[in-house]
Amino acid sequence: MNDNKWGKPPIDFEGNKPAALGNCSFEAHLASNWIVAIDAWDYCDPSILAEMLQRHPIPFELQPIIADIVTGKRKQKTKAAAKLKIPAGHRLIAVGIYATLKQDVIDATLQRKTSPDYHDIADEMGIEVADYRRDLQATGQKFKNEWAENAGVSTETFENLYEELRRKLKKYPNI
């Protein structure tokens, strides 16, 4: 794996500004750097968690996870880490930025909560709503394919990582 291509993980260690991980609870949003750090530790990169521990207090709800790491109860995923194509510290960041853009742009466009919504736009363009919806969905698929390609993984791998991120955020603080 070429870590040089990725550089340092884009975590705000100084100010602990939350990372973009997509839609989640307010608590998970505030702890997003900790979520990334714990995930990186799980995949055998302890450097981000060490940096967070040195600079910031552990969120109360994540203290049991950190205790499990310290006592050895929580184990690293060494076999999975050996197969990573995206460095551990970048996994959730890469898919999190995609999730934010997907949810705020593509998914939002396909909902009827905006004005004008995609029905109105299709009417203005003089095309069938179903055709316009298919075009938007195809654009979303192309967007995902490009992100996966840029990350150096298959679209299926990228989608699996996206679903893993969604599960972690939904289960927070039980990551």
Tokens of 102: 């997907």
Q: What is the pLDDT of residue 169?
A: 97
| Closest to 165 measured CA to CA, from 81, 92, 94, 103 | 92
Report yes or no: 168 and 35 within 8 Å, Cβ to Cβ: yes
Q: What is the pLDDT of residues 124-148, one digit of tens each?
A: 999 999 999 899 899 999 999 999 9
pLDDT (tens digit per residue) in 88-119: 999 999 999 999 998 888 888 888 777 678 88
Whether the per-residue pLDDT at 161 is higher than 70: the answer is yes
Domain boundaries, the chain: 17-171
Q: Give the long-range contacts of residues 53-61, CB within 8 A, separation 24 or more.
A: 55/13, 55/14, 55/16, 56/16, 58/34, 59/27, 59/30, 59/31, 59/34, 59/173, 61/27, 61/31, 61/172, 61/173
